[in-house]
Amino acid sequence: MLAGARDFLTKPPTIDELNSAIRRAGVNAHEERAKLSQVSSAQISKTGGIHPSGSPGTGGKVITFYSPKGGSGCTTLATNLAVCLNNEDTSVIIVDGNLQFGDVAVFLNEQGKFSILDLTPRADDLDPEIINSVTIRHSQSGIKILAAPMKPEQSDVVTGEQFSKVVRYLRNMYSYVIVDTATSLQNITASAINNSDLLILLTTQDIPSIKNSRLFLDEIDALGFDRKRIIFVMNKFDKRIGITPEKVSENLKQDIAAVIPFEERVIVSVNRGIPFLLVDKSRPLSRSILSLAEVVRKRISELESQTEVLTSVKNNGKK
């Protein structure tokens, strides 16, 4: 069934039964491909780096978490934002884009038999049934999880193009597709960024993290990436450290849209596999995630309005 079986024959089948089953399978395959092309005929291009002309897509919104410095807290914030955005009206799936050492399932205390490896070989022939059979449902929040491979060496078989196709298909099934990425800016991470409506860029108060953020911003500036699609976040903020969000914003010429305070209890949440937002929403740390969610919703609304204006101007120009 995982491979896509839709029917069966009892052994031994007659020639007529076999011929009929083959014809029936052919018709079903043709109909499925027609549906797929209507739903997600989104332009699928090969991805080898950050695309200069990336723009928000249709359907659900893809939000990618990225930090050019390890240990910045991408997975912690990604899992908690996923929990925050998920409700009866907006469904959420979190995709572990760190294919070598992804921990999204661990952070949510879940374990499954399948991973993104079970989808990428069928990237051109996906359907809701196969997606649902491969993803894990988080028992506490209800969000869906598309886990990373269990062994690091298995990540090599996934291409950036396959990853892009999976993400683009998921945006047709979910209101939000949240992608947690690795620090290394290789094909999979670049694919996630290319397909993002919003990129949540994380930094912390240490000089190496700020330096790497500057290098990353310089890189995407050179490629023409729209900075309005970036939500710059300072994580693990400690008032005792003299490097303030204002100074970093001024230095990197990118406003810090959200500040997440440092709290030692985060490690307890991680070790228990329970997002802190599910434990206590009144704490400053949880309130900062709620604020980040509002920033995300507002920015998406602004980008959609901007797109509508540009489309209107373009259509009037044609007339």
What pTM did the predictor assign?
0.80
Buried b (16+ CB within 10 A) or exposed e, 32-70: eeeebeeebebebeebeebbeebebbebbbbbbbbbbbe
Domain 64-299: homologous superfamily in CATH = P-loop containing nucleotide triphosphate hydrolases (3.40.50.300)
6 burial via Cβ count (<10 Å: 0-12, 13-18, 19+): exposed
pLDDT tens column, 247-305 = 999 999 999 999 999 998 899 999 999 999 999 999 999 999 999 999 999 999 998 88
Beta bridge partners of 177: 62, 93
- Assign 3-class secondary structure to 84-125: HHCCCCCCEEEEEECCCCCCHHHHCCCCCCCCHHHCHHHCCC
Model pLDDT, residue 45: 36
> Could you state, in order of their start, the residue ranges of all structural domains in the chain?
64-299
Write down the mean pLDDT value for the chain: 87
Q: Which parts of the chain register pLDDT below 50?
A: 36-48, 52-56
Distance separating alpha carbons of residues 231 and 258, to the nearest angstrom = 8
